[in-house]
Structure 1
């Protein structure tokens, strides 16, 4: 279908891409398995990095250097420079569409300092930055009358080969969660914006239940490459019992990290991998760890950190104004994802990706706080513009290879699987095993043991069938499909982590504790599970 762009995912990256594709003349359809306002973007609380002035000696060059340092030698410098240079334009665009940023007394956009930053450059809206950006984008998409198909689960990306043998994208197959029907949607180009895969860690992740990496898995099955899958960032301050995120804005505002003896044991504004390792080591000694913001004062806390107060009261039954907040590190952000080039295009013609599911090589081995919202705006805009340009010039007539019946038969086959193994129990075990063996500290034997368990789970999938055989709103079926995707991505993470025999950023090997210049390259994994390295 000429000039039609499908955006899969309705978080920040997806909605930014949709708006920009629409503005560039494409017919746009947004597809999401939940609803836009439930997207993970709402949990990005701390702010969006941009150098808006030269205050305190800050500069775009300093933003670049902070990002490269955090990335531990793995970021693509030209991509980082592009992102940092575009940052002020990205924030100005968000401001122009109505994002209600917090303001200074002279009405400028307020900025705070986050970990690893030279100066305060994170533009924020209290501690609801991601949520307010997401809601503003959603309002703009509705105003533009862009079609949104809610409660559609991505099954596969549809592709064909041209006369020269090059693969190109031509649409998507979906499962309508409401009706249980298979839907085939044709398109000239497709943008994947489905978020990360850290829900592999299950209850040890700050992410929503929807962060199951469906778009990354579908792209890999379609023949796209993925890269740097071993690099999973652990946020230092998740609530101890629920893994709910307590924003870096709390530390950026001056919060302290304490152990059971009331001692500060780390510089709270170091990059996240260093702070997480320090907390991990305290817990390994038998210490409890806490975030302390009491000294910031009631007025400041209630004005600038209202969400953190609510979350601590709701999930830990503590009042941060007067009490310590019990915390632990939890899987938070996946630096790896679908490999894209300087135009946000994948190795498949017409397939683009943006946001956490994509690897633009700007985060490397460890993402700088405040750069996730920046990335999704900068590269979401780029993906939208380039997908629209591609769609406009798309002239191929599609002769579908796989149609509705093919996917109906696949779902019917899954419903015939036996139910002798409870996959929910396996999913819980997977999360615990990943947190223990593929977490902040790793070593070869434990990684290989975990890979073996994953392979056994994958082989046992025909014994883990769904108990619910109904058609409409079959959440049991959707959760099985998500689990299947997570096993695929878990294997990709493990293969990449086993092969990287060094420590770098968020990937720390006890058996190889130092960085090795041999591995100063990006891990590439293809659909055949072959691991290679590229600079």
Structure 2
């Protein structure tokens, strides 16, 4: 099953890459463990940034500076400038393929202000922006005849290494969830677009259950490097009891944050790390925290924030037209990921990464709201074109037999693990201890306690196997392998967080509350040598 470009993941980043690789003349195949319309992109509600100036004075330079400020000194300015300069064209492209953006009275694309922005810059489609972008991209892929294979779960990448310094990609092995068979997909180039890893925080996350970092874990096992894994962004406003996201657009429209006394206690449109910490501080004092949009009025809420009203009524049994919305901050977005160069290529030749699983070094220590959808469009287009061009000159052999056999042995071996310990209970435990000790506020003692717990869980994994030993549609098996990936990444996150002896953006150390530019204005880099985790700081 050979292709020019194999794309793992069918969210926004993967579909953008697929469209552009196809239009560059490549034979493209997309594989995804779920269905494209269920991807995390659909949860991006607030908007996509572009300095269009449709709702007030703005400039590309202002967008650049807002992004750099939010990143707390460790974004790559060249990459940020590419992102921001490409933004107007990215939105124009989306508009041209049919994304139904909300419009101003004079038919221009409507824009709103999100946290950390100096102008109303986020182009939006009510509060369904990501969903409408995703559906349009999926429709585009179908119209182009791009092959999309659903319910294929990534296991490992196939690499060829005639010499260790000259490792190149050869495809991937996946589990066909429907049949239970291990399948091999050979390809001249591979694009990883598998999303982030915020589901490590379990119920304390806005993310879907699929955000388990599978592509990131497979990449480091294959020889790629990861960077900035300690930076996890907590969204300030999720529903208190369900962690369902309430969009930043609600604050952008003028919503207030109130404590139990009815007091406003922070600037609602400050960068997300600052707002999340302010809310967390109130909660630690014993206060409940609420989002108040009652003053915006029913007509405005139903026109501009219809999803927020539906979610609040469904999951919290409150109507934001009349009631305060109880909220809390939860894990939302992971800034770290697979290290890539300016071409979106990893250390492994022919292996590209894009979207939340990749680190293009545009978000730094804290992502600016509205830049995630922009990133997947700008770099998705680049990754698709670059992977297609690489495939045109690919003239090497691929022998996947030994790695396919190894993967088959792994899947069969996992089924022989005992199930004396319930890994679902351990997954919930990890979510709780990460939220409490490796979350919005951290300190060395708490981080080391969590690391000790994770390493104990690693030792116990052979006793946590899936109870279901069947072959067809064995979701218990898939969830166990996902759990293994999350445990693997948990150790990396903690090692990086312990090593970064400072506070910077989303990484707030209560025991060291200041930034230290002299020692840590750099990226954490992690990799594996002979299965041993290695870490360092690099500018």
Q: What is the TM-score when the length of structure 1 is the normalising length?
A: 0.99
Separation (CA, whole Å) in 2 of partners of 1:302 and 1:60: 32
Instruction: Note the C-alpha offset of 1:410.
Output: 1.2
Q: What are the Cα deviations for residues 125-172 of structure 1, in whole angstroms up to 9, with x where unaligned?
A: 000000000000000000000000100000000001146841000000
Indicate whether 1:132 and 2:136 are aligned: no
Residues 443 and 510 in structure 2, CA contact (< 8 A), matched pair in contact too: yes
CA contact (8 A) 2:8 2:30 kept: yes
Residue 287 of structure 2 is matched in structure 1 by 287
CA contact (8 A) 1:184 1:403 kept: no
Counterpart residue number, 1:16: 16
In the other structure, the counterpart of 1:525 is 526
Q: Distance in 1 between matches of 2:270 and 2:403?
A: 51
- Give, in whole Å, the separation in 1 of the partners of 2:280 and 2:243: 14
Change in Cα spacing, 1:404 to 1:523, as seen in structure 2 (3 Å) is: closer
2:325 aligned residue: 325
Instruction: Provide the residue aligned with 1:305 in structure 2.
Output: 305
CA contact 2:55–2:112 (8 Å) conserved in 1: no
Distance in 2 (CA, whole Å) between partners of 1:137 and 1:2 is 24
Which 4+ stretches in 1 moved above 6 angstroms?
none
1:471 — aligned with what?
A: 471
Given that 2:168 and 2:349 are in contact with CA atoms closer than 8 Å, whether structure 1 keeps it comes out as: yes
Structure 1 residues 152 and 54: alpha-carbon distance in aligned structure 2, compared to 1, 3 A threshold: closer
RMSD over aligned Cα, in angstroms?
A: 1.1
- Whole-Å separation in 1 of the counterparts to 2:399 and 2:33: 27
CA contact (8 A) 2:156 2:407 kept: no
The alignment partner of 1:206 has SS state of coil
Paired with 2:323 and 2:399, the residues of 1 have a C-alpha distance of 64
Which residue pairs with 1:336 in the alignment? 336
Partner of 1:210: 210
Distance 1:57 1:403 in 2: 55
Q: May I ask how many residue pairs the two structures share in their alignment?
A: 535
CA distance in 1, matches of 2:53, 2:434: 43
CA gap of 1:424–1:2, structure 2 versus 1, over 3 A, is: closer
Q: Report the CA distance between 1:404 and its aligned residue.
A: 3.6
**1:12, 1:41 within 8 Å by CA — same for their partners in 2?**
yes
8 A contact 1:3–1:388 mirrored in 2: no
Cα distance, 1:163–1:479 mapped onto 2, change above 3 Å: closer
Alpha-carbon distance, 1:378 to partner: 0.3
Q: CA deviation at 1:497?
A: 0.1
CA distance in 1, matches of 2:329, 2:2: 47
Aligned equivalents of 2:75, 2:164: Cα separation in 1: 33
Tell me which residue corresponds to 2:157: 157
The structure-2 alpha-carbon separation of the partners of 1:342 and 1:413, relative to structure 1 and needing over 3 Å to count, comes to: same
Task: Find the residue that maps to 1:526 and give its secondary structure.
Answer: strand
CA shift, 1:2, in A, is 7.4
Distance in 2 (alpha carbons) for counterparts of 1:308 and 1:55? 22
Query: 1:3·1:394 contact (CA, 8 Å) conserved in 2?
Result: no
Deviation, structure 1 residue 105: 0.5
Whether contact under 8 Å (2:54, 2:108) holds in the other structure is no
Match of 1:513 in 2: 513
**Equivalence map 1:356-505=2 (5 Å):** 356-505=356-505
CA contact under 8 A between 1:206 and 1:331: conserved in structure 2? Answer: yes
Change beyond 3 A, Cα 1:164–1:236: closer
Q: CA deviation at 1:529?
A: 1.8
**More moved, 382-391 vs 155-164:** 155-164
Offset at 1:401? 4.9
SS in 2 for 1:462: helix
In the alignment, what sits opposite 2:38?
38
In structure 2, C-alpha distance between the alignment counterparts of 1:14 and 1:146, rounded to whole Å: 12
What residue is the counterpart of 1:274 in the other structure? 274
Aligned partner of residue 329 in structure 1, secondary structure: strand
- Cα distance in 2 between the residues matched to 1:523 and 1:98: 40
1:161-200 aligned at under 5 Å gives the runs 161-162=161-162, 165-200=165-200
Q: Note the C-alpha offset of 1:269.
A: 0.1
1:83 aligns with 2:83: yes
1:419–1:465 CA contact under 8 A, matched in 2 = yes
Aligned to 1:62, the other structure's residue is in SS state helix
Q: Which runs of 5+ in 1 are unaligned?
A: none
- Secondary structure of the residue aligned to 2:220 is helix
**Alpha-carbon distance in structure 2 between the residues aligned to 1:417 and 1:275:** 44
Q: Residue 113 of structure 1: CA displacement?
A: 0.4
Summarize the alignment of residues 112-131 of structure 1 with structure 2, pairs less than 5 Å apart. Answer: 112-131=112-131
> Is the Cα–Cα contact under 8 Å of residues 3 and 392 in structure 1 kept in the other structure?
no
Distance, in Å, in 2 between the alignment partners of 1:86 and 1:525 is 30
CA contact (8 A) 2:228 2:496 kept: yes
SS of the residue corresponding to residue 170 of structure 2 reads strand
Q: Hey, what does 1:27 align to over in structure 2?
A: 27
**C-alpha distance 507-173 of structure 1, shift in aligned 2 (>3 A):** same
> 1:2–1:392: 8 Å Cα contact kept in structure 2?
no
Superposition deviation, residue 57 in structure 1: 3.3
SS in 1 for 2:244: coil
What SS does the aligned partner of 2:251 have?
helix
C-alpha distance after superposition, 1:63-122 (max 9, x if no partner) = 000000000001000000000000000000000000000000000000000000000010
SS at match of 1:362: coil
Moved more, 397-406 or 315-324: 397-406
Once the two structures are TM-superposed, the CA of residue 412 in structure 1 deviates from its matched residue by: 1.2
- Deviation of 1:37 after TM superposition, in Å, equals 0.1
Q: Give distance in 2, aligned partners of 1:230 and 1:481.
A: 22
Aligned residues of 2:54 and 2:109 also touching (Cα < 8 A): no
- How far apart, in 2, do the equivalents of 1:34 and 1:164 lie? 34
Counterparts of 2:353 and 2:22, CA distance in 1: 16
